[in-house]
Amino acid sequence: MSDFPIILHHFDQSPFSEKIRLIFGLKSIAWSSVRISRIMPRPDLMPLTGGYRRTPVMQIGADIYCDTQCIMRELERRFPKPSLLPDGHEGLAFASAMWTDRSFFQNTVNLVFGSLADQVPADFIADREQLRGAKFDVAAMTAAIPVMRDQYRAHLAWIDAQLCDEREWIFGEQPSLCDVNAYMNIWYVRSNLDDADDMLAEFDHVRAWAGRLRAVGHGPRSEMTSAEALEIATRATPQTEELSDPGDPNGRKPGDKVEVMPDDYGKIRVGGEIVALSAQHIALRRHDPRAGEVVVHFPRAGFLVFPA
């Protein structure tokens, strides 16, 4: 096990970060919180990620984990007990992110920003327009609230249907990554909208389940500055061991120079040399003038890999 602290670069209002904070709670992991700005610039974080700018990012020494899928995988590997991958549900526990983080989350975002409307700060809108390469159209989101309520309700009804036999968690007796992934959307709406609980009123099982998750908390948290986190990376050596994947469909292998980027938005390419890869994970070695040598980890689903 690493001597370095588990560091989460996040901001308190971030729903994707809430997933990871909740996992710290479920697994009782002590962690160091680096609060980053909600908008760019993040001058002490970019040397670590190589330009990846989504939130959250986990850092352990000079190993940097981008995207909640990748962070969850690494936390399961390092802290397997209690497992959030119940027997027989390992695949869907991870795959649920493709439902909760995309279709479900788009409804959630629309409801939140469409309702906040004029209160959304101009600098936040400008930042997210740059991130998406498209207009962050709050007026259109406000107009779409009725249809988004329908969509949000449909997603809630799926969760309620899973829970209707009085089970405590989506897959049964044990909480899983699917619970964490889905809960993010309820947490985010509740954190922002006064009428959030009205939308939950008809879903008794969802309300009880969300109450159980809220009660979990975030585990032992301490604060650290971004400068301290960067300093830790400069002192550390990446711990990732070389791993090849004989089944890689494109014949990629350790030593190849590639670029990796998300397939949805924030499409910034991060370049480096492959250290390890598998069907679900790719790790790149990079050298940065401030951070030194780091290994940056990404998931495969939802990310594109190009030869450099």
Ligand X SMILES: N[C@@H](CCC(=O)N[C@@H](CS)C(=O)NCC(=O)O)C(=O)O
- Which residues bind to ligand X, rule: CB under 6 A? 14-16, 53-55, 67-69, 101, 131
- Least distance between ligand X and beta carbon 99 (Å): 13
Nearer to ligand X, 17 or 32 (CB): 17
Nearer to ligand X, 187 or 203 (CB): 187
What string of DSSP letters covers 89-143? -HHHHHHTHHIIIIIIHHHHHHHHHHHHGGGS-HHHHHHHHHHHTS---HHHHHH
Nearest-angstrom CA–CA distance, 185 and 102: 11
Rounded to the nearest 5 percent, the helix, strand and coil shares of the chain are 45, 20, 35
Closest CA to 49 of 300, 307, 308, 296: 296
- Least distance between ligand X and beta carbon 173 (Å): 26
- Least distance between ligand X and beta carbon 144 (Å): 19
- Least distance between ligand X and beta carbon 252 (Å): 22
Nearest-angstrom CA–CA distance, 72 and 177: 8
Nearer to ligand X, 171 or 187 (CB): 187
- Least distance between ligand X and beta carbon 76 (Å): 15
- Least distance between ligand X and beta carbon 202 (Å): 27
Nearer to ligand X, 16 or 203 (CB): 16
Nearer to ligand X, 15 or 272 (CB): 15
Closest CA to 8 of 76, 60, 44: 60
Closest CA to 295 of 257, 239, 254, 253: 239
Q: Residue type for 135, please? A: K
- 3-class SS of residue 35: strand
Nearer to ligand X, 145 or 268 (CB): 268
State the DSSP code for 19: H
